Structure 1
């Protein structure tokens, strides 16, 4: 089989399965794993695939980050229902870590009337929302991302390395059952990884528009999370695969 034929076979398999394994493909095509790696390197140079550990996925359009003002009005009713389900998990005297984002901001709005609660966040809008409440607020500090309001960088990282919280609500730009949770930038992905490590339990809060999407930087596999809270649209995505990886909660519309 010529290299071009072999690469077309690889692309065909990716269209069918979304992900391939180097060793399995080498055995199936009766070539060395090094030959498959060379093929994958070529296809990646042509921007047709994205290399992963031990394999590859198709290079579908990656999700880029939008400004806060752009995201704020999108899927607002779904985010509010998700926030309501999330707030039900917060017990008295909990320390809660809220990731930056519009869905986590909705959670903050529901927690602002609580007492005996500590909220840690890297989002200045969440901190401002809780400013006049009785909630104890810890802002991580760090460099602010303009037009977003998220804090990141060495100062943020150092704070997170020294924290342990009861509950973390993780926001996401993109969620895929095979790729996992991804973010638009390496710096933001690293902050989210540190947040997950600092938490006793991590719940992903993401409306269904974020599902079946991929962004640039890997945050974690879905099996690393406690569960996901989404809207009723989640039933259209991986109905069998997701429950095998984590707990799934769908925030249904109220009758």
Structure 2
């Protein structure tokens, strides 16, 4: 097969599958992995794909930051189901860290009637949801990210470096089998890393729309968390593959 034909076929395959792997392509076209890497490098230079760890994805599959109001109306039933599973993992008198996001907002709604917790969050909406909670509520403060509702910046980072919690529920913009958990900005990724460092028990909470996608900045690998709490709409093959890497609930 000519180089141009192989590269054309690679792009066609990528549009059909959404992601491609170097080893699989090398076997499919009976060429070396290095040849495939050169193909992917050339195609990336043309703007036709974005190389990832072990393969490539389409440029448009890179997840961007979504406004809070848009997220609020998306997959609400699924997020409520995830929240019910998540709260089962919170101990009595526990210290709980809630990352920003609408899935964690649903968790907050279930926690606001409890009086035994310490709840820390970097989300303005979650802080307001817990306004009348009998539990102790700590907002990180910081710079408010416009249209997103998350607090970011050095104040958030400093607080997270100095706390220790029993459990963290981390939101995810994108989850990919090969790239792990990713998010749109380096700053958001760093804040999420600090959250993970502060917690004994670490859980990703994400509805099925976040899977098989990737974003700009790497947060963590699957080995760094206790598992992922999601809804029952996740693709069966995706679940099977991810269960080889972490716990899926």
Shorter-chain TM-score: which interval? Answer: 0.7 to 0.9
Scaled by the length of structure 2, the TM-score of the pair is: 0.86
Question: CA offsets, 1:126-183, max 9 Å, x none?
Answer: 1111121111112112211011110112221122122221101011122222222221
Maintained 8 Å contact 2:99/2:171: yes
Per-residue CA shift, 1:76-104, capped at 9, x if unaligned? 11111111111111111211110100110
Deviation track 1:209-254 (CA, whole Å, cap 9, x = no partner) reads 22222222222222322111111112535232122211111xxxxx
Structure 1 residue 9: Cα displacement: 6.7
Asked whether the equivalents of residues 97 and 120 of structure 1 are also in contact (C-alpha less than 8 Å), the reply is yes
Pair 1:219 & 2:219 matched? yes
Change (3 A) 1:229 1:39: same
The CA distance in 1 between the partners of 2:240 and 2:103, in whole Å, is 25
Equivalent residue for 1:248? 248
1:161 and 2:161 aligned: yes
What is the CA–CA distance in structure 2 between the aligned matches of 1:194 and 1:182, rounded to whole Å? 14
Asked whether 1:58 is paired with 2:60, we answer: no
Gaps of 5+ in 1: 250-255
How many residue pairs align between the two structures? 245
Q: How does 1:133-212 map to 2 (within 5 A)?
A: 133-212=133-212
Cα distance in 2 for residues equivalent to 1:52 and 1:62? 11
Alignment partners' CA distance in 1, 2:135 and 2:77: 25
Distance in 2 (CA, whole Å) between partners of 1:216 and 1:47 is 16
Residues in 2 aligned to 1:169 and 1:234: alpha-carbon distance in whole angstroms: 19
Q: Which residue of 2 aligns with 1:110?
A: 110
Residues 11 and 73 of structure 1, relative CA distance in 2, 3 Å threshold = closer
1-structure distance, mates of 2:176, 2:190 = 18
Listed as ranges, the matches of 1:65-80 within 5 Å are 65-80=65-80
Q: Distance in 1 between matches of 2:63 and 2:45?
A: 20
Which position in structure 2 is the counterpart of 1:252?
none
C-alpha deviation, 1:116, in angstroms: 2.1
187-196 or 91-100: bigger deviation: 187-196
Structure 1 residues 236-245 or 115-124, which shifts more?
A: 236-245
- Checking the alignment, whether the CA contact within 8 Å between 2:22 and 2:37 is kept in structure 1 is no
Unaligned runs of 5+ in 2: none
Provide, for residues 25-58 of structure 1, a one-character-per-residue CA deviation record: whole Å limited to 9, x for no partner: 8xx6358x5x7655443322222222334x4312
| Matched position secondary structure for 2:69 | helix
- CA root-mean-square deviation: 2.7
Quick check: 119-128 or 209-218, which moved more? 209-218
TM-score if structure 1 supplies the norm length? Answer: 0.84
